[in-house]
Structure 1
Amino acid sequence: MASTDFGLQREKVLMKTAANQSRMNQASIKRRVGKYEIGRTLGEGAFAKVKFARNLETGEPVALKILDKEKVVKHKMAEQIKREIATMKLIKHPNVVRLYEVMASKTKIFIAMEYVTGGELFDKIVKNGRMREDEARKYFQQLINAVDYCHSRGVFHRDLKPENLLLDAAGNLKVSDFGLSALSQQVRDDGLLHTTCGTPNYVAPEALHDRGYNGATADLWSCGVILFVLLAGYLPFDDSNLLNLYKKISCAAFTCPRWFSFGAVKLITRILYPNPNKRITVAELLENEWFKKDYEPPIFDEREDTNLDDVEAAFRDSEEHLVRERTEQPTAMNAFELISMSKGLNLGNLFDVEQGFKRETRFTSKSSAIDIINKIEAAAKPLGFNVDKKNYKMRLQNLKAGRKGNLNVATEVFQVAPCLHMVKVRKAKGDTLEFYKFYKNLSTCLDDVVWKTEDDMPGPKQG
């Protein structure tokens, strides 16, 4: 009876271990597209999903916008998407979200963009309500800087609102989402745009009629609505009935609250002027006394050339321009393998017979697998090593020949648990003493990665 009970216990333990291993493997699976490792979902829309991703060559985080080609073609969105991409590549300004690169697989289009961590300006308003005048002015100044730059490049946003204004880690404003923007080439012979778009509460009155409108003055109206919202905490034009809302916008029927300063009221009234021909211009706005207080013009370098070849290539079906999507994960180590590698049971030849130095060693880390790989690479290169990476294995080769030729070191990352990895470092070629010295130098550079070294791991000490 006891034997049967023991058998059942063992079966339960094995089943539980297998289930945990399966969950661990699923959690650790990584998707890669070109040089980017894809992580969690940041947002999702009708035609696209935005994922957090990391450039494996530089370690830099990006926001990766992923579009389904079939949906894009089905809804005839190809030209609009191409326009969005081309627009963002033209813009290089500190207050505009940067677009780094465009790629495509057989089924998807991938847009690598600047990863902005501070959230939406809209969320800040919802959470804290209206802003102090000096804080609102700072954001408005950055918004006008960005919009003026875009207009100078022939780019009109056409959907400016707090939801499309992001904040970086330092609290600086970043204009995003050019999905409804228009390039100057889309202006008709009459010099006007003719597509009605944008969010109703922020749309200029002239954009509501089918008589055409100037993209620059329409954008400026939206900026005026945003400034009102920042200072008031609510919209200047709002109505549950869309027809009534349009009437209020058309005649600029709004009232500034009593806490607005005289300078703010005067400026907003000049921006939210229903006749676009009499509305304040950006040039006039830059000279306005309320606007100029504590104003700091942006300083940036825009000499980098813009290449749109990848935009065209992303919409072609040519095999040579397609990137591969692949799934990767570190090798998972089960309990039996872990036990066999402990000091008491490891029967491998870990020591050089002649010199007594280790030819192989291990350490554990609570860092992610990709962070471990990046840190080892960053530490090995200054020591004179070439680095060849494949998945979660690395080959390090010393450029300078030693006593027994060039030292080659192999490393591999194993997953022990969802938040715990074991790293094996072994001499693949060369002198063991040189390997020992290399590992000592390497380990001093990995203080923030290493959790426990082999000497800290459980198991009886070897004499």
Structure 2
Amino acid sequence: MEDAAAEGKGVVLLQGRYELGRVLGHGNFGRVHAARDVRTGRAVAMKVVSKDKVERAGMAEQIKREIAVMKMVSHPNIVELHEVMATRSKVYLALELVRGGELFDRITRHGRVGEDVARRYFRQLVFAVDFCHGRGVYHRDLKPENLLLDEAGNLKVADFGLSALACHARPDGLLHTACGTPAYVAPEVLAGSGYDGAKADLWSCGVILYVLLAGALPFQHENLMCMYRKMQRGDFCCPVWMTTDAQKLIKMLLDPNPGTRITVPGLVETPWFRKTPPVPRPITGPAPAPVDTLGNAGDDKDEPPEVLNAFHLISLSEGFDLSPLFEQDPAASPGRATTRAGGMRFATREPASGVVARLEALATGGAMRVTKSGARGVRLECAEPGRNGRLAVAADIFSVAPSLIVVDVKKDSGDTMEYRSFCSEELQPALKDIVWSPAAT
């Protein structure tokens, strides 16, 4: 029996903390078990790695790197590392248990997916990958087998065993280790002259998007050298059922020249990425009245809300709706990118002054500056510049009925990815308890 495990009543306990269950899968250096944290009852996936096998394969540093990387990348679309334990002969990684299986299995069973589903998966993949790149982490083995789906259908990036850190680059600023899965690896990785880890990951994202929409690989040949030459030429065809916008994006991602390959800031502004699913046409009604952000929404706040006047807005945003993050700003000039694209909208029974107080508290805690935005809103601006200048967020507050208001949050300046992260990781948790939705009434 392993020196850190105890057996009793047919149950294997690891260090008295985890109850090991059935085997979920096998890897090169061990197995993955279903397990349960006996302290909290939380289900986890326990990756058991044999030290002896790792050392014989000369992979000890790689395992250490994988653990270090996973501690750095805590994100909703990345499999979480809960805990690491070790004994004389084994290393145990308690990972988030993702029950939906691999994206690869989903495609194998059901074939290609529709564009709305592909867009959802692809957005989550890009957000996770960009989060890693912002922390100097490059995955280097992105493929459907390493993308898991949870019970809600959300994508989770897994297996950082081949990942690299920015500090691993040579003096030329490039990575030089050729690794990854041939069908998904960027051509410059195999060329041997060095490569940018972020651009190589985006190539892999392009292959994954193609697989989602086509149900097949873009570059196929029984001879690997022939396949590699096709990749170098960008020699692939999109099936006729792909929309023009999808084809354009894939061609920008599968650009064999890393110097001209699209980057994440450009990717998130493409029409295909920004497109939102159709929403029901709202009920025609009067425009919402502006609210004085220093006071309450009118004198009759104790009256019940006029449901029909509110629902034409609420139907577009039940609870927290992050889909407007990808909408085109109607005020933007045609053909011109706008810094105010996208947003988040929610309804609340909190008075306007209460919402403003929440935003001011959030800004104070996050070292942001608060200013008034017109007659009906506030503006939060980061003190420090980000990847694309200082992030600024504008929150407009409207009265749609007595005692019911709608808050419309949009990016005013700065980086789109930083804005999205701010909404999901800071703004949403800070305001979650005041959100109102018609389903709750």
Q: Secondary structure at the match of 1:37?
A: strand
| Distance of 1:219 and 1:86 partners within structure 2 | 19
What is the deviation of 1:300?
A: 4.2
What is the deviation of 1:75?
A: 1.6
What is the deviation of 1:291?
A: 0.3
Q: Which residue of 2 aligns with 1:68?
A: 50
Aligned match for 1:117, one of 70, 93, 99? 99
| Distance of 1:27 and 1:268 partners within structure 2 | 55
Q: Which is higher, the Rg of structure 1 or of structure 2?
A: 1
* 2:172 paired with 1:190: yes
Amino acid of the structure 1 residue aligned with 2:265: A
Q: Which residue of 2 aligns with 1:344?
A: none
Closer, same or farther in 2 for the Cα pair 1:220/1:27, shift >3 Å?
Answer: same
| Distance of 1:156 and 1:292 partners within structure 2 | 25
* 2:9 paired with 1:31: no
| Distance of 1:290 and 1:93 partners within structure 2 | 24
Q: Secondary structure at the match of 1:201?
A: coil
- Alignment of structure 1 residues 371-386 onto 2, 5 Å: none
Q: Which residue of 2 aligns with 1:263?
A: 245
Structure 1: 4+ residue segments shifted above 2 A:
294-302
Amino acid of the structure 2 residue aligned with 1:30: V
Q: Which residue of 1 aligns with 2:32?
A: 50
- Alignment of structure 1 residues 158-307 onto 2, 5 Å: 158-294=140-276, 295=323, 296=325, 297=420, 299-301=423-425
What is the deviation of 1:176?
A: 0.2
Contact residue 100 and residue 113 of structure 1 kept, 8 A: yes
Amino acid of the structure 2 residue aligned with 1:96: I
Contact residue 194 and residue 210 of structure 1 kept, 8 A: yes
Q: Secondary structure at the match of 1:67?
A: strand
What is the deviation of 1:63?
A: 0.5
| Distance of 1:213 and 1:239 partners within structure 2 | 24
What is the deviation of 1:48?
A: 2.2
| Distance of 1:279 and 1:72 partners within structure 2 | 36
| Distance of 1:32 and 1:153 partners within structure 2 | 35
Q: Which residue of 1 aligns with 2:138?
A: 156
Amino acid of the structure 1 residue aligned with 2:80: R
Amino acid of the structure 1 residue aligned with 2:19: E
| Runs of 5+ unmatched residues, structure 2 | 1-6, 277-322, 326-419, 427-441
Greater mean alpha carbon deviation, residues 243-252 or residues 223-232 = 243-252
Contact residue 202 and residue 221 of structure 1 kept, 8 A: yes
Aligned match for 1:96, one of 75, 78, 95? 78
Contact residue 119 and residue 166 of structure 1 kept, 8 A: yes
Measured against aligned partners, the alpha-carbon deviations of 1:48-68 in whole angstroms (never above 9, x if no partner) come to 211111000000000111011
Measured against aligned partners, the alpha-carbon deviations of 1:405-431 in whole angstroms (never above 9, x if no partner) come to xxxxxxxxxxxxxxxxxxxxxxxxxxx
Closer, same or farther in 2 for the Cα pair 1:87/1:291, shift >3 Å?
Answer: same
| Distance of 1:259 and 1:71 partners within structure 2 | 47
Measured against aligned partners, the alpha-carbon deviations of 1:180-214 in whole angstroms (never above 9, x if no partner) come to 11011111110000000000000101001110000
- State the structure with bigger RCO (CA 8 A, min sep 6), 1 or 2: 1
Q: Secondary structure at the match of 1:81?
A: helix
Contact residue 93 and residue 300 of structure 1 kept, 8 A: no
Amino acid of the structure 1 residue aligned with 2:112: R
Measured against aligned partners, the alpha-carbon deviations of 1:310-363 in whole angstroms (never above 9, x if no partner) come to xxxxxxxxxxxxxxxxxxxxxxxxxxxxxxxxxxxxxxxxxxxxxxxxxxxxxx
Measured against aligned partners, the alpha-carbon deviations of 1:168-187 in whole angstroms (never above 9, x if no partner) come to 01000000000011011111
Aligned match for 1:108, one of 87, 90, 93? 90
Contact residue 41 and residue 50 of structure 1 kept, 8 A: yes
Measured against aligned partners, the alpha-carbon deviations of 1:115-162 in whole angstroms (never above 9, x if no partner) come to 000011111111111111111111000100000000001000000000
Amino acid of the structure 1 residue aligned with 2:13: R
| Runs of 5+ unmatched residues, structure 1 | 1-25, 303-463
Measured against aligned partners, the alpha-carbon deviations of 1:63-111 in whole angstroms (never above 9, x if no partner) come to 1110111111222211000000000110110000000111011111001
Q: Which residue of 2 aligns with 1:41?
A: 23
Q: Which residue of 1 aligns with 2:60?
A: 78
Contact residue 256 and residue 265 of structure 1 kept, 8 A: yes
Q: Secondary structure at the match of 1:41?
A: strand
What is the deviation of 1:27?
A: 11
* Alignment length (residue pairs): 278
- Alignment of structure 1 residues 120-159 onto 2, 5 Å: 120-159=102-141
| Distance of 2:74 and 2:9 partners within structure 1 | 36
Aligned match for 1:59, one of 25, 35, 41? 41
Q: Secondary structure at the match of 1:66?
A: strand
Aligned-residue Cα RMSD (Å) equals 1.7
Q: Please report the TM-score for the alignment, with normalisation by the length of structure 2.
A: 0.61
| Distance of 1:132 and 1:93 partners within structure 2 | 26
Contact residue 94 and residue 300 of structure 1 kept, 8 A: no
Q: Secondary structure at the match of 1:202?
A: coil
| Distance of 1:235 and 1:249 partners within structure 2 | 11
